[in-house]
């Protein structure tokens, strides 16, 4: 009789523990989606808040400066007391010039690195090179800026005697070096996703390793590779400290890489350091420049998503 009672008691305890575990599991299952939903809402609200802030302050700026003059004027001299000029074109040209130089550096090196890691490197080499690229990506941009100013610029001046101390060439090259890991990593991931059967089929037909890499793997991974290029351009356009330190602060409508330039981000840094009083036209101009920069990067991201969907290969 005692044995039966003890057996019943153990069964009751087990059943009770099951009910408790089921209750806890149900509570977790209900609470986790709510928590994740709140996190998603916070992200969305933060984005909306940033856009609304930029938009409201930009509207205030265009209440003082005509939007046509802002877009079409070729002079940017906001600190002139007598006749300030707010033409965004010099800042846009400086930004695009640095981004173009950066992509001329980053695309060939990044793509070549991706091809090597995906198609040629052994597992041991890949374990060494990948962390090095990650370290390169983790270096603070201000360190890149001083590297451009104190090492790259003096070196380039020996090759190009007419090169100004502050110029577009040096920061463009260093920005390109900075975004190499992004292009290499994303492109390598896209190439590694190509099925091995496609490589083996091409090799069985007599193709060389290089032909397989360039004529089979590269076209198959084209969407991811081009998307990495576009994201790299977006990163180059939004770079701040490198161009601020090594590019200069002279708005110059030129596409000569030896000339001193100023980018949109460099101008925002200049004004944010306290060169303009709160509520002045110059103060509100940084929001107009920031909105222009936001539009550029948004367009780049939209293009990257469109390319990924348009040229995506399904396996």
pLDDT of residue 24: 65
184 and 221 assigned to the same domain: yes
Predicted confidence (pLDDT) at residue 7 exceeds the cutoff of 60: no
80 and 12 assigned to the same domain: no
What's the pLDDT tens digit per position in 19-30?
666 656 666 677
Position 180 in a domain:
yes
What is the CATH classification number for the domain harbouring 249? Answer: 1.10.3720.10
Backbone angles phi, psi at 180, to 5 degrees: -55, -45
Which has the higher per-residue pLDDT, 183 or 302?
183
Q: Which of 18-22, 155-159, 192-196, 254-258 has the lowest mean pLDDT?
A: 18-22
183 and 277 assigned to the same domain: yes
Position 100 in a domain:
yes
Lookup result for tokens 């091409």:
202
The whole domain housing 35 covers 2-62
Handedness of CA 216, 222, 224, 230 (dihedral sign): positive
Mean pLDDT of the chain: 83
Position 70 in a domain:
no
247 and 142 assigned to the same domain: yes
Which has the higher per-residue pLDDT, 198 or 5?
198
Position 206 in a domain:
yes
What average pLDDT does the segment 180-206 reach? 85
pLDDT of residue 104: 94
Position 67 in a domain:
no
Position 208 in a domain:
yes
134 and 20 assigned to the same domain: no
pLDDT of residue 102: 94
Pairwise CA distance, residues 22 & 18, whole Å: 6
Q: CA nearest 264: which of 105, 54, 104, 80?
A: 54
pLDDT of residue 134: 79
257 and 297 assigned to the same domain: yes
96 and 233 assigned to the same domain: yes
102 and 132 assigned to the same domain: yes
33 and 119 assigned to the same domain: no
Q: Which of 36, 62, 88 is the last residue of a domain?
A: 62
The whole model's pTM is what? 0.82
pLDDT of residue 1: 47
pLDDT of residue 2: 46
Predicted confidence (pLDDT) at residue 252 exceeds the cutoff of 50: yes
191 and 48 assigned to the same domain: no
Q: How many folded domains does the chain comprise?
A: 2
Q: Which of 64-73, 175-184, 216-225, 300-309 has the highest mean pLDDT?
A: 175-184
C-alpha gyration radius of the chain: 28
213 and 118 assigned to the same domain: yes
30 and 169 assigned to the same domain: no
pLDDT of residue 3: 45
Q: Which of 18, 40, 62 is the last residue of a domain?
A: 62
Position 201 in a domain:
yes
């Amino acid at each position: 009789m005692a044995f039966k009672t003890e057996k019943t008691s153990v069964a009751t305890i087990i059943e009770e523990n099951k009910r408790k575990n089921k209750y806890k599991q149900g509570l977790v299952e209900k609470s986790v989606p709510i928590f994740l939903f709140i996190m998603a809402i916070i992200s969305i609200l933060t984005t909306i808040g940033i856009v609304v802030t930029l938009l409201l302050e930009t509207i205030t700026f265009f209440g003082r400066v005509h939007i046509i003059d802002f877009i079409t004027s070729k002079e940017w001299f906001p600190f002139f007391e007598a006749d300030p000029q707010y033409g965004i074109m010099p800042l846009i040209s400086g930004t695009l010039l640095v981004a173009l130089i950066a992509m001329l550096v980053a695309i060939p090196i990044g793509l070549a690195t991706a091809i090597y890691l995906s198609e040629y490197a052994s597992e041991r080499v890949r374990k060494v090179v990948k962390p090095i690229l990650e370290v390169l990506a983790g270096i603070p941009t201000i360190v890149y800026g001083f590297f451009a100013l104190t090492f790259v610029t003096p070196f380039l001046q020996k090759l190009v005697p007419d090169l100004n101390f502050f110029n577009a060439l040096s920061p463009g090259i260093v920005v390109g070096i900075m975004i190499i890991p992004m292009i290499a990593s994303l492109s390598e991931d896209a190439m590694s996703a190509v099925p091995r059967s496609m490589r083996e089929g091409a090799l069985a037909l007599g193709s060389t390793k290089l032909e397989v890499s360039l004529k089979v793997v590269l076209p198959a991974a084209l969407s991811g590779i081009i998307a990495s290029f576009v994201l790299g351009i977006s990163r180059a356009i939004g770079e701040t400290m490198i161009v601020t330190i090594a590019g200069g602060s002279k708005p110059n409508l030129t596409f000569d890489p030896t000339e001193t330039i100023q980018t949109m981000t460099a101008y925002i840094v200049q004004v944010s350091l306290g060169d303009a009083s709160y509520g002045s036209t110059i103060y509100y101009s940084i929001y107009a420049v920031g909105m222009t920069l936001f539009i550029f990067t948004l367009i780049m991201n939209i293009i990257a998503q469109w390319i990924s969907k348009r040229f995506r290969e399904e396996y």
